[in-house]
Every structure is written in C-alpha cells, then in structure tokens.
Structure 1
Amino acid sequence: MVRRRNYHEKVLDHYSRPRNVGSMNKGDTDVGTGLVGAPACGDVMKLQIRVDPKDNTIADVKFKTFGCGSAIASSSYLTELVRGMTLEQAGRIKNTEIAKELCLPPVKLHCSMLAEDAIKSAISNYYTKNPNARQTDLGGKGAPLPKVEIETVSATA
C-alpha cells in the first residue's frame, strides 16, 4: 500500500488514470444525467448513463467531475462498478461500498456520498424521460414508485 499525501494507491490510480471521462447527449432518451455538488467543498459531479431499454442495464457510463482527487476517484470507480448493472442494482449502491474500496478517510466520505447521489440522480432522470420504463424505489426493495399523474393544459383561445 503506497500513500502520497494521505491518498491510498487506489485513489491515486483512479485520479491519475480516470476511467470513462466524457459526456453524452443529455437530450437522448436513453441517457440519464445526474448533476450533484457539495457546497461545503466545491466538488461538482456529472454522471451520465446510457440504458439498454431491453433489459434496463447500464450499457455505457461517463462522468465529469470538478473537485479533489477523492471526488474524481469516486466517480471513476463508480463508472466501472455500474457498467452492466441493472438500474435496480445500481440504485442500491451505497457510498460506504465506494469509500471502502477506495480506502477513503473519514474527511473524504462526502466524495463517495456524491457518487451515490449522482447515480441515483442519473437513474431518476432516465425514468423521468422514460415514464413507461419499469421503475423501482431505488431503495433496494424493488417496490414500484407511485404513479405520478401529469395534467395536460391546452392553450385554446
């Protein structure tokens, strides 16, 4: 285990060689975008998933993070973790799994929390764009989300 400036080698690896950096067209219906931030430290994380609608699996994933090494590493690791997962599986990821894998110190736990929030936000955005997709509560129970009725307003003169 090599440490530089209190960063574990896994953080240094993902920071110096981040995986899946980039972005997708947020207007695509098969793309879900999550944008989250931590006002206390200034970290901002954008995570995008491309979903295969046949089986609700994450076919591709990209991120752009502006922040410290731990925030970038958390994003990079998360992209490797969720690729190929179903949306339900990805929605059950907890920040503690990310923090444990990267050996994040307590002062950097907020970075793993951002990653958890980002994947849940991206999944939620995908479901907003695809209301007929099978939705879950993202809490790991597989319970369906309540149906939301949207009232249509017509502009007739």
Structure 2
Amino acid sequence: MIRSTRILGLAPRVAAARATALWPQLYHERVVDHYNNPRNVGSFDKNDPGVGTGLVGAPACGDVMKLQIKVDDQTGKIVDACFKTFGCGSAIASSSVATEWVKGKQMEEVLSIKNTEIAKHLSLPPVKLHCSMLAEDAIKAAVKDYEAKRAKLSPSKQRGSGGLINFIGDKAAIV
C-alpha cells in the first residue's frame, strides 16, 4: 500500500501554511481576530446562584456552545461572562463577541441581542448564520437559567405568565 504524504501535490507543511494563509481571505478580520484571540474563554461554577449557564448545540454541524453570565444580584447587571465552544471559527468568534456584548448590561438589554447583529458585526456568510444563532440562543438560555435559580432561592417569588411576581403579604407586584 502506498501512503501519500502530500496534500494536493504539496508537502504537508506547505499545504498547512497555505490553508492558514487563506483564513484572512475567506473570513472578515473580526472573525479571524476573535478566533485567534478569543475573549473570555473559561467557565464559572454552574452551581453558583449568581451564575446563569446556557448550553446549546447545532446538530447539523456538531457545534456546541456553553455561555455563562455572572450577575450582580443587587443591580441585575451582568458583571462577567465566559464561554467554551467546540466548533468552527465562526462559532468561536460568535461566542467571543457575545460575551463582550453582554458584560455591563442589564438582563433585559441582553435579551434584545439578535443573531443578525452578531452576524453583521462579524460579516458572517449566510452558511455560517447558524453560528450567530447559537450565540443568541446561548445568551437566552443563560438568562433563563439564572432566573430559574433566583426563583428557586426565593420561596416568596413565583413565576407567572407576566414575568417574575413578588408576593408581599396579600399584594402581588410584577418585578
């Protein structure tokens, strides 16, 4: 059996160098920057009551994204965010951008971040829009997880159809 060490007629190192050189031509510089220098990679303790965790995946391509937010309970402001993504460069870049955008914002504000904004910022091609959708879904899942933890911690707070309802005596106030 003959085993070839050449890819497309090129020595392996040359082929790899040429493939890497194509990155800037195929992707916008922001994607390349966030892929090569991802911001906020890591994870928080998912059992911390001040942390919300969103774990989402795309079965079509196999990308998996975990995005976590750390929230100041007093202000409701997201003070930190991190991610771990197993996927393509566009998924990693989308995660990185999402963590940058949620920091310092109120919970209500981050729910308005849309995948189209992330895709536009990164100039993602149409075939990579699902990567930015993962980031939007991960943000929403992290907020939902955080709110679920808050509801469990406070027995006087219950989830209603209009939002979080705080019962004070016999009076109810939507928070």
The TM-score by the shorter chain falls in which range?
0.7 to 0.9
Correspondence list, 1:72-91, <5 A? 72-91=92-111
Letter in 1 for 2:123: C
Structure 1 residue runs of 4 or more that deviate by more than 4 Å after TM superposition: none
Distance 1:108 1:118 in 2: 16
1:120 aligns with 2:140: yes
* 2:59 counterpart letter in structure 1: P
Structure 2 unaligned spans of 5+: 1-21, 166-175
Shift of 1:52: 0.4
Say if 2:148 is the partner of 1:145: no
Once superposed, what is the RMSD of the aligned Cα atoms?
2.2
Instruction: State the secondary structure of the residue aligned to 1:54.
Output: coil
- 1:21 counterpart (41, 45, 58): 41
Gaps of 5+ in 1: 136-142, 148-157
- Change over 3 Å in CA distance of 1:41–1:5 after alignment to 2: farther
TM-score (norm 1): 0.83
SS in structure 1 of the partner of residue 38 of structure 2: coil
Q: Secondary structure of the residue that 2:118 maps to in structure 1?
A: helix
For 2:86 and 2:128, how far apart are their aligned partners in 1? 15
Identity fraction in percent: 63
Shift of 1:145: 2.3
In 2, the alpha carbon distance for the partners of 1:144 and 1:53 equals 21
Q: What is the distance in 2 between the residues matched to 1:104 and 1:146?
A: 36
- Which amino acid counterpart does residue 145 of structure 1 have in structure 2? G
2:124 paired with 1:104: yes
Q: Which has the higher contact order (CA 8 A, sep 6+)?
A: 1
Deviation at 1:62, TM superposition (A): 0.5
